[in-house]
Amino acid sequence: MNRVAAALLVWTLTSPSSSGRGDAWPVHMACSSGGLEVLYQSCDPLQDFGLSIDQCSKQIPPQLNIRFGIILREDIRELFLDIALVSRGSSILNFSYPICEEDLPKFSFCGRRKGEQIYYAGPVNNLGIDVPQGEYQVLLELYNENRATVACANATVISS
Amino acid sequence: MAPAISCVFLVALFSASCEAIASTDQMCIEKETNKTYNCENLGLSEIPGTLSNSTECLEFSFNFLPTIQNTTFSRLVNLTFLDLTRCQIYWIHEDTFQSQHQLDTLVLTANPLIFMAETALNGPKSLKHLFFIQTGMSSLDFIPMHNLKNLESLYLGSNHISSIKLPKDFPKEKLKVLDFQNNAIHYLSKEDLGSLQQTTNLSLNLKGNGITGIEPGAFKSTVFQRLDFGGTLDLLVIFKGLQNSTVQSLWLGTFEDVNDEDISSSVFEGLCEMSVESMYLQKHHFFNISSSTFHCFTSLQELDLTATHLKELPSGIVGLKSLKKLVLSANKFTSLCQINAANFPSLTHLYIKGNMKKLDLGTGCLENLENLHLLDLSHDDIEISDCCNMQLKNLSHLQSLNLSYNEPLGLKTEAFQECPQLERLDLAFTQLRVSTEQSPFQNLHLLKVLNLSHCLLDTSNQHVLDGLPVLQHLNLQGNHFPNGNIQKTNPLQTLESLETLILSFCDLSSIDQQAFIRLKIMNHVDLSHNRLTSSSIEALSHLKGIYLNLASNHIDIIPSSLLPILSQQRTISLRGNPLDCTCSNIYFLEWYKENMQKLEDTENTFCANPPLLRGVRLSDVTLSCGITAVGIFFLIVFLLLFTVALIFAVKYFLRWKYQHI
């Protein structure tokens, strides 16, 4: 019987622990004020990233300022953002927006290289919108010209 | 006994799982046999023994190599490309690359380097490209320069460098790219530029450095291929500083996250004292553009004013008479006439794409641009009920026209009569309204490339593609044919010069045997993402040596009579079809194995039937359909054994029964 216990012990110690890479990244709060709460979780299995949004409110103003920190896993000579908005299990909105292009690098970080650590604090050039009461799921994906993931976020927006 | 068995079982389970972990954690991806490996993100602390000694190209980023030294790579003597991005390298010791004589490119981006030994880069005979981006460097002295005679590009972005001055003996004869973006360089002195004197046609990148001063005369008699001052706040300083220089390409754009001030016309005065071929001023705000704003732009061949908030350009602009290429994309024009095209009579290339407002093409707004070769009006929300002769009036030399991603356009016969020289026409994702019997492309005698993908074209109109005698490339992706069928008579039959035909995502379920009979020189046919079955292959029987994409269709069984048609082609893709892997498809399965060199994407070509083989690669399937004799033999043996067993059972039963009597 001892041998069984020993084998079990060895098994539990060496088997892939569920708290390691297989586990999801922690849920962070990007902002919470003015009746709006934005929570996000990185869906890139390789890494987490940091995001905080200034002036959080139900009436989202245009030209929001954000702070964003990440390690680039890919060059971002070209960078695109896909947003999928879902509420109560049904899709409301899908769109794709170019952030960096060869002939129009909109932001100063465009053209930076794989491996670089990036910190961006500045405007995002969004439209102003009022968020109706409810809970929304937002999938945000940043990727480059080869469709390689740069960042991926599962966000929950709660407007109360 | 039971505990011992479970123990053995557990140990077996444990060792099996251990093996699985080891194999998934250590595997580099072999991208090219024995030559190119990708070992990214594996947490390796040494070069794995599995890599071939003849490795030439190694992507090793995001691993763990705190110290690299002469033993680290010694085995890989053929390396030409080595990427060590973010490997947590602190130390690069003596002779680290001594045996890498072929090394051409070394990437050390994002490593927190503490020290590089004097001989750290010795060994490579011709080191050409070095990446030291974000390595914490504050001075160029940090890089050992004994062995940099052949250096062509040096990337030093995102460091703490405050001067572009190269060390005294820094070899620069072959230097072509010097990249200092996102550093702390605020001043350029005569001495700094003097250190670059032996270079010829250098591209110097100072983007994101906030240059606040340039010593007068610093750039005197210098010649640069490209100068990038992206994000610089004070353009006046730049233009004054660049006096008497010659620059092929000058990038002065700014960015969304940089607070810029309005540029006044006086800023450009400095341009009169220098020679520039191409200038980029993206995202700036112009204060009060007048006809004299550009009077110093006379030497310019190319001007890029992308996203500069322009609503119109004044008429009678002085200084842009010899401009060849103009980019006015992402601005706020409401009518094409607002660009006052008469300002640019020499223009050959004009780009106005992604206009922020709905663009009205007006009538004859570009009629003065007699030399125009290329016109890009994509993503502009253009909507016209009768296009395009009025709008493109007098553009008789136009060779390339892009009207993709616009609102619906109504086209009548000879819609492009004003541009008879057109060679390329792109209308992708713009809905076309063509009345019955009309031939909008009639008389485009030189048109070679036509993109009509997702145009919702009326393909029941037999004449819609008439009058294109030399058309080589036609993209009809996402258009629909009546009843999902391409009939014997169809609008494609007139395109006798066609070489490439794209009919993917057309919801096709069948193609008539004779549908392509007059298209005799096609060499690339894409029929992917439809609902075609194997019978449609017959439409290609007259073609030889083509690239044929049949991916994601409904092909299950390919009868032997169709195999010769496939055999005569160059490359075929059958990925994503519900292919049958039973004996009813045995001829095709045998053909498949014999013709693997013709097949594309065999890694992802799977069986769909029988259920047992679903998801198995076709290349891994071996059927034995001709082997029924063996089956019969086994059946007989089985029956024989069964009979024997039955006889014995009866015998024992009887014996048992009669014993008890």
Sequential DSSP letters for B591-652: HHHHTGGGEE-GGG-BEEESGGGTT-BGGG-----S-HHHHHHHHHHHHHHHHHHHHHHHHH
Instruction: Return d(Cα A134, Cα A137) in angstroms, integer.
Output: 10
Nearest-CA neighbor of B570 among B589, B597, B598, B603? B598
Closest approach of A4 to chain B, Cα-based (Å) = 5
Closest approach of B136 to chain A, Cα-based (Å) = 11
Q: For residue A3, what is the nearest residue in chain B, using CA coordinates?
A: B7
Instruction: Return d(Cα B411, Cα B358) in angstroms, integer.
Output: 19
Angle at alpha carbon of residue B211, lines to B209 and B214, rounded to 5°: 145
Structure token pair of residue B378: 């994509």
Window B:25-54, CB contacts with A under 8 Å: 41
| Nearest-by-Cβ selection for A104 from B7, B13, B330 | B330
Q: For residue A99, what is the nearest residue in chain B, using CA coordinates?
A: B256
Query: Which of helix, strand or coil describes residue B590?
Result: helix
Closest approach of A131 to chain B, Cα-based (Å) = 25
Do B178 and B188 form a contact (C-beta atoms < 8 A)? no
Buried residues in B213-229 as b, exposed as e (16+ CB within 10 A): ebeeebbeebebebbbb
Contacting residues of A for B284, CB less than 8 Å apart: none
Q: For residue B229, what is the nearest residue in chain A, using CA coordinates?
A: A108
Contacting residues of B for A3, CB less than 8 Å apart: 3-4, 7
Other CB atoms within 10 Å distance of the CB of residue B22: 10
Mutate to test the interface with A, among B64, B105, B109, B256 (most CBs of A within 10 A): B256
Residues near B612 by beta carbon (within 8 Å), at least 6 away in sequence: none
Q: Is B244 left (phi over 0), alpha (psi -120 to 50) or beta?
A: left
| Nearest-by-Cβ selection for B6 from A4, A104, A113 | A4
The secondary structure of chain A, three-state, reads: CHHHHHHHHHHHHHCCCCCCCCCCCCCEEEEEECCEEEEEEECCCCCCCEEEECCCCCEECCCCEEEEEEECCCCCCCEEEEEEEEECCEEEEEEEEEEEECCEECCCCCCCCCCCEEEEEEECCCCCEECCCEEEEEEEEEEECCCCEEEEEEEEEEEC
Closest approach of B551 to chain A, Cα-based (Å) = 21
Strands A28-33, A36-42: pairing kind: antiparallel
Instruction: Return d(Cα B442, Cα B471) in angstroms, integer.
Output: 12
Residues forming a β-bridge with B102: none
| Nearest-by-Cβ selection for A125 from B6, B182, B256 | B256
Measure Cα distances from B318 to A18, B150, B313, B323 in Å.
Answer: 70, 45, 12, 11
Angle at alpha carbon of residue B308, lines to B305 and B311, rounded to 5°: 105
| Nearest-by-Cβ selection for B133 from A104, A116, A123 | A116
Structure token pair of residue B157: 């972005």
Do B170 and B194 form a contact (C-beta atoms < 8 A)? no
Instruction: Return d(Cα B282, Cα B276) in angstroms, integer.
Output: 16
Contact A114 B181 (CB under 8 A): no
| Nearest-by-Cβ selection for A3 from B7, B62, B85 | B7
Query: Which of helix, strand or coil describes residue B24?
Result: helix
Place of tokens 């908030």: B309
Buried residues in B466-479 as b, exposed as e (16+ CB within 10 A): bbbeebbbbbbbbb
Contact A113 B109 (CB under 8 A): yes
Contacting residues of A for B3, CB less than 8 Å apart: 1, 3-4
Nearest-CA neighbor of B277 among B309, B245, B308? B245
**Which uninterrupted H or E stretch holds B5?**
helix B2-26
Buried residues in A90-108 as b, exposed as e (16+ CB within 10 A): eeeeeeeeebbbeebbbbb
Residues of chain A with a CB closer than 8 angstroms to some CB in chain B: 1, 3-4, 7-8, 10-11, 14-16, 46, 71, 73, 103-108, 110-117, 120, 122-123, 125
Q: For chains A and B, what is the number of CB pairs under 8 angstroms?
A: 91
Structure token pair of residue B350: 């004009």
Query: Which of helix, strand or coil describes residue B653?
Result: helix
In terms of Cβ atoms closer than 10 Å to its own Cβ (0-12, 13-18, 19+), residue B272 is middle
Contact A104 B329 (CB under 8 A): yes
Contact A108 B134 (CB under 8 A): no
Mutate to test the interface with A, among B19, B86, B137 (most CBs of A within 10 A): B86
In terms of Cβ atoms closer than 10 Å to its own Cβ (0-12, 13-18, 19+), residue B279 is buried
Cis-peptide into A43, omega within 30 deg: no
Do B618 and B589 form a contact (C-beta atoms < 8 A)? yes
Do B363 and B338 form a contact (C-beta atoms < 8 A)? no
| B602 close to A (CB below 8 A) | no
Regions of chain A where pLDDT drops below 50: 1, 4, 8-21
Query: Which of helix, strand or coil describes residue B294?
Result: coil
Nearest-CA neighbor of B363 among B405, B418, B309, B404? B418
Residue type, B113: L
Contacting residues of A for B158, CB less than 8 Å apart: 112, 116
Contact B6 A104 (CB under 8 A): no
Place of tokens 């976020």: A153
HSE (side-chain half, CA atoms, 13 Å) at B559: 7
Contact A108 B257 (CB under 8 A): yes
Domain A24-159, classified CATH 2.60.40.1180, yes or no: no
The secondary structure of B106-174, three-state, reads: EECCCCCCCEECCCCCCCCCCCCEEECCCCCCCCHHHCCCCCCCCCCEEECCCCCCCCCCCCCCCCCCC
Regions of chain B where pLDDT drops below 70: 1-26, 626-631, 660-661
Instruction: Return d(Cα A136, Cα B249) in angstroms, integer.
Output: 47
Other CB atoms within 10 Å distance of the CB of residue B206: 24
Per-residue confidence (pLDDT) for residue B630, from 0 to 100 = 63
Other CB atoms within 10 Å distance of the CB of residue B368: 16
Contact B327 A112 (CB under 8 A): no
Structure token pair of residue A78: 């070209």
| Sequence spans of domains, chain A | 24-159
Contact B14 A1 (CB under 8 A): no
Do B122 and B146 form a contact (C-beta atoms < 8 A)? yes
Q: For residue B86, what is the nearest residue in chain A, using CA coordinates?
A: A115
Instruction: Return d(Cα B434, Cα B429) in angstroms, integer.
Output: 15
Contacting residues of B for A71, CB less than 8 Å apart: 86, 110
Instruction: Return d(Cα B647, Cα B653) in angstroms, integer.
Output: 10
DSSP string across B210-267: ---EE-TTTTTT-EEEEEE-TT-S-HHHHHHHTTT-EEEEEE----TTS--PPBPGGG
Instruction: Return d(Cα B319, Cα B295) in angstroms, integer.
Output: 4
Instruction: Return d(Cα B108, Cα A116) in angstroms, integer.
Output: 11
Contact A108 B329 (CB under 8 A): no
Contact B255 A113 (CB under 8 A): no
Instruction: Return d(Cα B304, Cα B310) in angstroms, integer.
Output: 12
Window B:103-162, CB contacts with A under 8 Å: 109-110, 131, 133-134, 155, 157-158
Structure token pair of residue B590: 């045998």
| Nearest-by-Cβ selection for B158 from A8, A116, A122 | A116
| B86 close to A (CB below 8 A) | yes
Do B274 and B224 form a contact (C-beta atoms < 8 A)? no
Per-residue confidence (pLDDT) for residue B628, from 0 to 100 = 59
Instruction: Return d(Cα B534, Cα B116) in angstroms, integer.
Output: 64
Contacting residues of B for A149, CB less than 8 Å apart: none
Contact A3 B4 (CB under 8 A): yes
Residue B464: phi, psi to the nearest 5? -60, -30
| Nearest-by-Cβ selection for A116 from B4, B134, B258 | B134
Contact B133 A122 (CB under 8 A): no
Structure token pair of residue B424: 């390329």
Contacting residues of B for A146, CB less than 8 Å apart: none
Closest approach of A43 to chain B, Cα-based (Å) = 17
pTM for the model stands at 0.88
| B280 close to A (CB below 8 A) | no
Residues near B393 by beta carbon (within 8 Å), at least 6 away in sequence: B363, B364, B366, B367, B418
Inter-helix orientation angle A2-14/B2-26, to 10°: 20
Instruction: Return d(Cα B127, Cα B134) in angstroms, integer.
Output: 20
Contact A7 B11 (CB under 8 A): yes
